[in-house]
Amino acid sequence: MRINERFIQELQEKVDIESVISSSITLKRRGKTLVGLCPFHNEKTPSFTVYPESNSFYCFGCGAGGDVITFVRRMENLDYIEAVKSVAQMAGMSMPEDGYDDTLSKQRMKLLSANREAARFYHECLMDPKNRAALDYFLNRGLSINTIRRFGLGYAPNDWRELINHLKSKGFTEHELVLANLARRSDKDGRTNFYDNFRNRVMFPIIDLRGNVIAFGGRVMDDSKPKYINTSDTLVYKKSNGVFGLNLAKNANDNKLILVEGYMDVIALHQAGFTNAIACLGTAFTNEQANLLSRYADEVIICYDNDGAGRTATARALGVLNKTGLKLRVVQMTGGKDADEIIRTHGKERFADLLKGAASTTEYKLLEERAKRDLSTDDGKVEFLIAAAQVLASCGTIERDIYSTRLSNELGVSADSIKAQIKSAEGKLRRLEESRKHKEEMAAIEKSFEDKNNPERAANLKAARAEETLIASFMRNPDFYNKLKERISPEDFVTAFNRRIMQSLVKALENGIEPNLSAFSADFTPEEMDSVTRIFHLSSTLGNTLRECEDCIEVLKDKSSQKITDTSSMSDEEFLKLFKKK
């Protein structure tokens, strides 16, 4: 079952893609289109394009594309039905009551409500006098009862089934609890058992931007292992997207975020009034997390622990965040190993001072290089200057000037020779950059043959191109289809993926539905919509003539010419690439 098509059409007409997308990212008008920085990949120059005329978007950088429903679906990580509901809400339309399949959507709602009930249960357990040791754990770490409530902290009792029994009495099944990763299942000696995933741990609920409890982190109260157990990926949670505290920090309103390592750092900072603190979950900082942060801030101040692991994590986070165009600064932690400890031993004023003195990315990198060497020896000085020149090679003139003078005064080397060293490092950097760009370009050409959604495309390039031309032409000129429909049908299509697109298109055309992208978004996943959108936008580069369509039909009817890739219309580079492959 699916949402009725007339409703989707009406929705598309009513909702304005420009206003929906511009509520998430900043768009600039460029002729008939709008452009902005793509929210689905890291970029500094905008390649994300919105087409108000066709109610669609397409990113020339990563190939993401689709209609307004696909956009909301990807952006908010929703399933199709939920995305339609969300868009309908924006348009002020109510959903039709008649049949649509919302199994997945219902399942997600169920998991979210199981999580909410679990969070409530854990919190009540924490406040239960018989679990005083757990409450003491938080109180001894300096948290107030108010803070404990604000973050909804809890305690998972030392029992194999207490949560399961409680949630079963609330109407949840064991199977649902396993799906939510609140319970685990074991099959031993032909018997199936279910048991609580979190036991004898203090609990940190992870809450998304809409206020849903999507996951938990559970920590032991002593030195036993593992120190943390976290919810693994579920229908409602993806660890690589997880950010702890963003639900509260997004309201902090100064466009800055303080990035710390753990749950306790975030909570201690919020209690001390630094309500823009967050932590990224998972072991490695990801592009998804960086993109998410760049939607809520202009500047990120990194405050990782003052140890080897913290420095490695800082270097990694700088690398990933640097691609987002966010302003970055790094706090040099002194007086304690992490934010929590510094505030507890020296007070919040000390931490505020550290924030104020946070180093720029350049300063931080120079400090790191310096710390690795002994500057009292000549060898140490030379090594440091070479490393410093590499850091400064990627900076602008003013920054170079400032730091060259500073280094010159400090190390007793002339500013001119430092600048010369930077120039030579810059040359090396540029050559590296050029070879990286070249590799990227070659990879892009490779990608234009291969389509992850249509694995048959590369081997049937000529036929696939004919299919795509037909689809794009028919979408733009339904009239062509009416004139040619006796001569071509989806069965003539060679590649299965394009055949599916053609089937959906024919269905829409036969039902008299205007063939725009929304006619496909119910039948194709957001990832598949990328390819559908690419094909859809081909029409702007095509001749859009009946003749062109007839030629394509010839290609598809001529079985002998199909299986080979056509090289006559390729650029030299494309041909070379193909040649190399063979």
Which residues would be at the binding site for Zn ion (CB under 5 A)?
38, 40-41, 59, 61-62, 64
Residue 437: burial class (beta carbons within 10 Å; 0-12, 13-18, 19+)? exposed
Q: Name the residue nearer to Zn ion (CB basis): 62 or 221.
A: 62
Q: 3-class DSSP state for residue 280?
A: strand
245: left (phi over 0), alpha (psi -120 to 50) or beta: left
Shortest Å distance, C-beta 62 to Zn ion: 3
CA–CA–CA angle 558, 559, 563 (5° rounding): 120
CA 314, CA 316: separation in Å to the nearest integer?
5
Shortest Å distance, C-beta 58 to Zn ion: 9
Q: 3-class DSSP state for residue 29?
A: strand
Shortest Å distance, C-beta 448 to Zn ion: 16
φ and ψ at residue 243, rounded to 5 degrees = -130, 125
Shortest Å distance, C-beta 37 to Zn ion: 9
Shortest Å distance, C-beta 40 to Zn ion: 5
Q: 3-class DSSP state for residue 393?
A: coil
Q: Name the residue nearer to Zn ion (CB basis): 517 or 556.
A: 517
Shortest Å distance, C-beta 578 to Zn ion: 26
Nearest to 283 by CA among 269, 268, 262: 262
Nearest to 24 by CA among 90, 81, 88, 84: 90
Nearest to 448 by CA among 33, 36, 60, 51: 60
What count of Cα atoms within 13 Å lies in the side-chain half-sphere of residue 346?
16
Residue with tokens 């080397």: 413
Q: Name the residue nearer to Zn ion (CB basis): 61 or 490.
A: 61
Shortest Å distance, C-beta 42 to Zn ion: 9
Q: Name the residue nearer to Zn ion (CB basis): 71 or 285.
A: 71
Nearest to 135 by CA among 196, 203, 229, 217: 203
Please, which residues bridge with residue 50 across strands? Answer: 34, 57
Q: Name the residue nearer to Zn ion (CB basis): 65 or 157.
A: 65
H, E, C per residue of 165-203 = HHHHHCCCCHHHHHHCCCEEEEEECCEEEEEECCCCEEE
Residues ≥6 apart with Cβ < 8 Å to 434: none
Q: Name the residue nearer to Zn ion (CB basis): 125 or 535.
A: 535
Q: Name the residue nearer to Zn ion (CB basis): 36 or 217.
A: 36
CA 347, CA 225: separation in Å to the nearest integer?
31
CA 395, CA 398: separation in Å to the nearest integer?
8
Show the DSSP H helices in 35-182 as ranges: 68-75, 80-91, 103-127, 132-140, 145-150, 162-169, 174-179
**Consecutive H or E run containing 493:** none
User: What is the rounded (10 degree) CA torsion for 513, 517, 520, 526?
Assistant: -160
Q: Name the residue nearer to Zn ion (CB basis): 66 or 262.
A: 66
Q: Name the residue nearer to Zn ion (CB basis): 40 or 403.
A: 40
Shortest Å distance, C-beta 285 to Zn ion: 20
Q: Name the residue nearer to Zn ion (CB basis): 61 or 152.
A: 61
Shortest Å distance, C-beta 44 to Zn ion: 12
Q: Name the residue nearer to Zn ion (CB basis): 52 or 61.
A: 61
Shortest Å distance, C-beta 263 to Zn ion: 32
Shortest Å distance, C-beta 242 to Zn ion: 22
